[in-house]
Structures are given as C-alpha cells and as structure tokens.
Structure 1
Amino acid sequence: RQYSQQIKPIVDQAMIPNDFVMAKGAYGQQLYVIPSLELTVVRNGPAERNTFADVEFLTRLLTGFRR
C-alpha cells in the first residue's frame, strides 16, 4: 500500500492492524476505523493549536485492547 508521508509513520507501527483506516480533516479532526477490533474513533480537534500526536494516542488506545 501507498500512504502519504504524514500517515506512513503511523501505519508502519507494529501495533497497527492491517485493516486500519484513517482520515485526517481540517483543524485536527480525525477518524480511525479498525474493523477487526470493532473500533471506530472520531476526534474533533481544536480550532487553534493542535498538539495531538497520532502515534502516542494509538499506542495508548491499542495497548491492552488486542483480542
């Protein structure tokens, strides 16, 4: 698969399942879908500064979530 330079470091993480889908929108809005975990996360980001880190968030989210 091919990914943008912005997303590739995220999907290259060993913890990310093969069926991971991500969409990034304006002002930090993001969507994460992982069908194998029956997981959908929608994030409405701040309109001002965005200090959100995808890899850190996904690491915390997926740690201990594996089935």
Structure 2
Amino acid sequence: MKASALKEMTKDELLQKLAELNEAHFNLKFQHAAGQLENTAQLKKHRRDRARVLTLLREQTGLDQSREAK
C-alpha cells in the first residue's frame, strides 16, 4: 500500500488497517512455518505496510500531543 493513500486515512481507519495487516501477517507467518507459502516476498511487504501504518499513527499521536501542550 502506498504511503500517500495511508496519509489520507483517519486515525480510526489506520487502526482498522493495522488490525487487518496484523491478522494477514500472522496467517502468512503460519503458512511459511508450515511450508505452504509460495511467495515469501509477501511477508516483507506486509511487515513494511505495518511499519508505515504504525509510523503514521505515531506521527498523528505526536501532533495531537504537541497541540495539547500549547
């Protein structure tokens, strides 16, 4: 998923997307351990997508905290 598409999402949408990515990543890890995963690049893609979402959530949370401090 592109970062530009993620930046347009609200905090609730990002949290929902994170939950979806966590579930998908868990399933991929399980398939990989069982030897059923054909495309192992999906693991890397999902891991990076999760990191993008977490980064945006932390940025938004940081902005909210800095506004409250003023």
Q: Calculate the TM-score normalised by the size of structure 2.
A: 0.26
Q: Which has the higher contact order (CA 8 A, sep 6+)?
A: 2
Larger Rg: 2
**Which structure: greater strand fraction?**
1
- Pick the structure with more helix per residue: 2
Task: Give the TM-score normalised by the residue count of structure 1.
Answer: 0.27
